[in-house]
């Protein structure tokens, strides 16, 4: 199992939208619709912000949205706010009751 | 409010066994998966494995030969043992609920492997 592929960094200005991609293989993202996304601020534990590709847990703003096409999942953050600056990780079910994370993307809000 | 809290030694010697415990408060362990996840310094997240409320387990194939996760329902705790550790096992170790979607996380505990 190799980690899912994410861009190392993305950036945007307040109010803009950014999209973070997460690319896997036919063995994980290409087969299963169990993609989740996590936001991690420095020194803090990750926080679930998207699950099952498109679903948001209670309390997560609708500025965060998820999608998937084939082997690639995406997280879009619209109306960027300064507090969105963080690391973002995707995760996919990889079969045989295992999970696989992406390498993480650092979002900078300029 | 469901909360998880990791505990255990912060320093482990090379070749020895890393042992951590995660304690659940504010909820039940029933019919849930309970995982450990780690994050080396400056790096990404790695799923280590889970224990289901029945006691069944599954592990990351890359760590399977060295990992054991067990459950003590009476104490609402589950534990991680990682044998034959090296410096590459230095990381923040998190416990979390779930096995491919992790909705509750502990705060994490730093484990350093060093002599």
Confidence of residue B11 (pLDDT cuts 50, 70, 90): very high
Q: Which pLDDT score, from 0 to 100, does residue B104 have?
A: 98
Q: Mean pLDDT of all residues in chain B?
A: 97
Mean pLDDT for the stretch of residues A51-57: 97
Chain B: residue nearest A91 by CA?
B100
Partner residue opposite A101 with nearest CB, options B47, B99, B103: B47
Question: Is pLDDT at A67 greater than 80 in this prediction?
Answer: yes
Q: Which pLDDT score, from 0 to 100, does residue B17 have?
A: 98
Partner residue opposite A48 with nearest CB, options B50, B58, B102: B102
Q: Model confidence over A87-97: pLDDT tens digits?
A: 999 999 999 99
Q: Which pLDDT score, from 0 to 100, does residue A74 have?
A: 98
Instruction: Please name the helix (run of DSSP H) or strand (run of DSSP E) that holds residue A63, with its range, or none.
Output: none
Q: Which pLDDT score, from 0 to 100, does residue B93 have?
A: 98
* Strand positions, DSSP E, chain B: 3-7, 11-12, 18-25, 33-39, 46-52, 57-59, 67-72, 77-82, 91-97, 104-105, 109-113
Tokens of B53: 């409320």
Mean pLDDT for the stretch of residues A68-78: 96
Residue B51, min C-alpha distance to chain A (Å): 11
> Left (φ > 0), alpha (ψ -120 to 50) or beta: where does B54 sit?
alpha
Confidence of residue A1 (pLDDT cuts 50, 70, 90): confident
Contact in structure between A100 and A34 (CB atoms under 8 Å): no
Contact A36 B102 (CB under 8 A): yes
Sequence-distant (6+) residues with CB within 8 A of A97 are: B50, B58, B99
């Amino acid at each position: 199992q190799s980690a899912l592929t994410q861009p190392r960094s993305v950036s945007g200005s307040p109010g803009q939208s950014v999209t973070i991609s997460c690319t896997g293989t036919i063995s994980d993202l290409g087969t299963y619709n169990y993609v989740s996304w996590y936001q991690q601020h420095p020194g803090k534990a990750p926080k679930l912000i998207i699950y099952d590709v498109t679903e948001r847990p209670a309390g997560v703003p609708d500025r965060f949205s998820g999608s998937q096409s084939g082997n690639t999942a995406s997280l879009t953050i619209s109306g960027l706010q300064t507090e969105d600056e963080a690391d973002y990780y995707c995760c996919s079910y990889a079969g045989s009751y295992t999970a696989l994370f992406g390498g993480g993307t650092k979002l900078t809000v300029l | 409010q469901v909360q998880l809290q990791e505990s255990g030694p912060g320093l482990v010697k090379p070749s020895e066994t890393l042992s951590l415990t995660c304690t659940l408060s504010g909820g039940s362990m029933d019919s849930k998966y309970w995982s450990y996840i780690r994050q080396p310094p400056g790096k990404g997240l790695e799923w280590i494995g889970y224990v289901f409320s029945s006691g069944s387990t599954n592990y990351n194939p890359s760590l399977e030969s060295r990992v054991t996760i067990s459950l003590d329902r009476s104490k609402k705790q589950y534990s991680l043992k990682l044998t034959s550790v090296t410096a590459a096992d230095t990381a923040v170790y998190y416990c979390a609920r779930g096995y491919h979607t992790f909705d509750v996380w502990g705060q994490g505990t730093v484990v350093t492997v060093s002599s």
